[in-house]
Amino acid sequence: MRPVLGVLACALACGAQDAAHENWPAYGGGPSAWRYSALSQVNRSNIRRLAPAWVFQTGDVLGGLQSTPIVVDGVMYVSTAKNRVFAIDAATGRELWHYFYPVPREFGLIYGPWNRGVAVADGRVFMGTIDNHVVALDQKTGRELWLVNVEDMQQCGCNITAAPLVAGGKVIVGVTGGDSAHRGYLTAFDVKTGRKAWRFWTIPGPGEPGHETWAGDSWKSGGGSTWMTGSYDPELNLVYWGVGNAAADFYGDARRGRNLYTDSIVALDAATGKLKWYYQEVPHDVWDFDAAYECVLVDLPVNGRMRKLLVNVNKGGYAFVVDRTNGEFVSAWPVAENITWIQGVDQKGELVGRSEPVPGQTRLLCPSIGGGRSWNHAAFSPRTGWFYSTGIEWCQEVTAQKEEPKEGQNFFGGVFQLRPPLKGKAGGHLAAYDPVTGRKFWSYESKYPLLASALATAGDLLFSGDPEGNFFALDAKTGEKLWSFQTGSGHRGSPVAYSAGGRQFVATPSGWGSAVAGLLSQLWPETEDFRPGSAIFAFTLPEEGR
Amino acid sequence: MIWVALLLAHSAAETGSAARGEQVFAQSCSVGYCHGKAGAASRGPRLRGRTFARSYLERVIRDGIPNSAMPGWKGRLTDQDIAAVIDYVASLATVSNDPPPTTAGSAPAGPAPAPEFRGTAEAERGFRLFFDATRETRCGVCHVSGGRGIAIGPDLGNLAGKPEGEIAAVLRSPRARHVVTVRLRGGETFPGLRVSKQGSLVKFYDLTTPPPVLRTVSQAEVLSVSDDAAWRHDAYLAPYTPSEIDDLAAYLRARRP
């Protein structure tokens, strides 16, 4: 029953420095995005007695509830689809204050309405908005302190749905826009004043290295959005961010070249925003296979040598593992069975056997545009040393078409229609993998794609939710389902664990909605009628159960 | 009833308009996460196989749906293309041909996309410079023009029609008539624009570095507000060459106020 050596090495060396404890202080749990809580009051032996403690209804149901709640010193901060922020007593569910952002009457963008969470630091609560602003609120009262319009959303065709990342006294936010004629960027603002500290353009301008990877003027509308939340390594003082697809999504003839830094992980100096290194997962993307999902930072032995790694699951269905000190490729492994857009990834990280959409023709490719996995986040447990990720089995017919960019307008270059997979049944799974080799230890199968994030805890539990409204706990070691609770609406957000008044809580958003949730109806027509919702459910053990 | 609708649907599908509508639908409506290929649903609702009144479709397509991702297509698509798209939707769904609504009383339009400016070559260059996304401190970051941009600095409408030399002169050295120096008790000082005062709270745009930041501070935090603004607008014009300034002047002169 002794853990294997590699795991033990990690448990000591990577310690639990990025575990969340009493609080859930940041989007990914900590700056390394493990989504792991060191709390173990709720564990495999007592999970069956876990019961709801309170429910908080936000009332904002359109678009679902995709948030990661932040918990600091007994207060939970949640944002909803239309940029409403609530501060909630994390022990009782009582509202402490709320802030309703004045959303524009019409925003007419395909990105939203939804919001994936706030950041809390320095006495302030930060949120990106549906109309491309960043707002800072007083953590105690919810009063607005500063508000900045990152860029005119009608012009850039972009807005903010992701949670900000706070690093080194700056609040860093990405923008959507990768399916618009848009040039992506990441912007850092001073936490106190809201003044811009730096901007990193994900597509290099004239004279900058990498600009030559874009034909003609295509760099001006090449996408490369930064629509999720990055990670931070305070020791290296590097901010890691995943960059989205190149635009037009399916039509690449007008942007011949590698199209840097789309579909890349970029490592930036937190103080200046200067590029330290990059790793491009998909050169010249013509499938909409973003590298925009979370960057999980882990220290693990590779061939006997401890290395500082970064794991990023690409939307195309491969997890890429790179050395986070220099961007060197380490390994790549699949999280889905049905992958046909490439035959594989070689020892050097090169894509092998690319199968590209052809303008004017219809081709069957897997996975679908919804991804071999959606953005909902993986979890890493330092106790098992395993990486827990969902995966989706589905395909699509893509018809690429030539399209001219119109600044800020949709820029897809094609249409698609979902199709069942070639192998097995359409559906989803949540599985445990070795983060370096991709060896699979177990897999929990689901009728529908799983679109909620995973939460790992020191109780050796893995929590997540499904589209039908079940919030469930699996044994992190075996994948066996130990507990489940029906919350009344599907899961598209991210559960968290925290402690308040000496009791451990596990809380989850419940509320069906989102772009990919909408796609499901092409394969599962009944999902069109799945009920929306927007509530936080908090669970704890009854007094006598602890 | 159903028969009539089906017949109508089929006849619409056969017209050239529906064929054009299919093209427009593929490019504008089914793209990405919207209504799916041939209206099969995606993140936007399914259209195929449903029942709509033509007037409803027309209104929603033209004006969009408030507080949603559905944009108004008025201004983005021509009237013919909107009609063609409706004909195409009629080939996928059941569309009842009720009389088209009068334009009066229909919902107000959402923000149409940036209207393209048409004028002399010089003025058109000026328009593009005003909103040039490759410049982080372009004019549109702080000024609205032609219903586009962000309204922080003054509306430049009063410059329309003025002699170009005069406009270029204002551009080279606009007087700071509104910018003030805000000093806070914490020791912070910034060039600001007064925005509003509500009870004990005051709002200023902080112009220290673009984009301007809307700051809300309590009256008690404000030490002083004075007119001796050291802020210089020139910094934003410096990146433009003299001939580009002339282009901007030509644009500001030519556009309708």
A4-545 belongs to CATH 3.90.25.10: no
% residues pLDDT > 90 (chain B): 35
Give pLDDT, residue B103: 36
DSSP letters spanning A124-151: EEEEE-TTSEEEEEETTT--EEEEEE-S
**How close does chain B come to A461, measured CA to CA in Å?**
32
CB contact under 8 A, A108 and B206: no
CB contact under 8 A, B216 and A103: no
Is the pLDDT at A168 greater than 60, yes or no? yes
Is the pLDDT at A294 greater than 60, yes or no? yes
Tell me which chain B residues have a C-beta less than 8 angstroms from the C-beta of A111: 69
Give pLDDT, residue B115: 65
Please name the member of B110, B113, B149 whose beta carbon is closest to the beta carbon of A409. B113
Give pLDDT, residue B109: 34
Which chain A residue has its CA at the smallest distance from B44's CA? A518
Is the pLDDT at B24 greater than 50, yes or no? yes
Is the pLDDT at B27 greater than 80, yes or no? no
**How close does chain A come to B21, measured CA to CA in Å?**
15
Query: Among A130-144, B89-103, B141-155, where is mean pLDDT lowest?
Result: B89-103
pLDDT bin (cut points 50, 70, 90) of residue A471 is very high
pLDDT in tens, A488-513: 999 999 999 999 999 999 999 999 99
Give the C-alpha separation, A496 to A24, whole Å: 7
Query: Among A11-20, A120-129, A190-199, A320-329, where is mean pLDDT lowest?
Result: A11-20
**How close does chain B come to A335, measured CA to CA in Å?**
23
Give pLDDT, residue A3: 37
CB contact under 8 A, B37 and A220: no
Is the pLDDT at A106 greater than 90, yes or no? no
**How close does chain B come to A399, measured CA to CA in Å?**
10
Tell me which chain B residues have a C-beta less than 8 angstroms from the C-beta of A104: 111
pLDDT in tens, A175-191: 999 999 999 999 999 99
Is the pLDDT at B6 greater than 70, yes or no? no
CB contact under 8 A, A415 and B133: no
pLDDT in tens, A406-446: 999 889 999 889 999 999 999 999 999 999 999 999 999 99
What mean pLDDT do residues B100-129 have?
Answer: 65
Give the C-alpha separation, A261 to A536, whole Å: 37
Give pLDDT, residue A4: 41
Instruction: Let me know if B168 is exposed, middle or buried by CB neighbors in 10 A (0-12, 13-18, 19+).
Output: middle
Query: Which residues of A does the annotation mark as catalytic?
Result: 288
CB contact under 8 A, A106 and B67: yes
Task: Tell me which of B134, B150, B215 to substitute to probe the interface with A (most A C-beta atoms closer than 10 Å).
Answer: B215
CB contact under 8 A, A521 and B46: yes
Radius of gyration of chain B (CA): 25
Instruction: Find all residues with CB under 8 Å of B16, minimum gap 6, and list them.
Output: none
Residue A140 sits at the vertex; the CA angle it makes with A136 and A144, to the nearest 5 degrees, is: 30
- Count CB pairs under 8 A between chains A and B: 160
Tell me which chain B residues have a C-beta less than 8 angstroms from the C-beta of A152: 140-141, 148-150
Give pLDDT, residue B230: 79
What mean pLDDT do residues A384-408 have?
Answer: 95
pLDDT bin (cut points 50, 70, 90) of residue B108 is very low
Q: What is the mean pLDDT of chain A?
A: 95
Tell me the domain boundaries of chain A: 4-545
CB contact under 8 A, A154 and B148: yes
Pairing assessment for the beta strands B213-218 and A133-138 based on DSSP bridges = unpaired
Is the pLDDT at A132 greater than 50, yes or no? yes
What mean pLDDT do residues B58-63 have?
Answer: 86
Give the C-alpha separation, B224 to B98, whole Å: 64
pTM of the model: 0.91
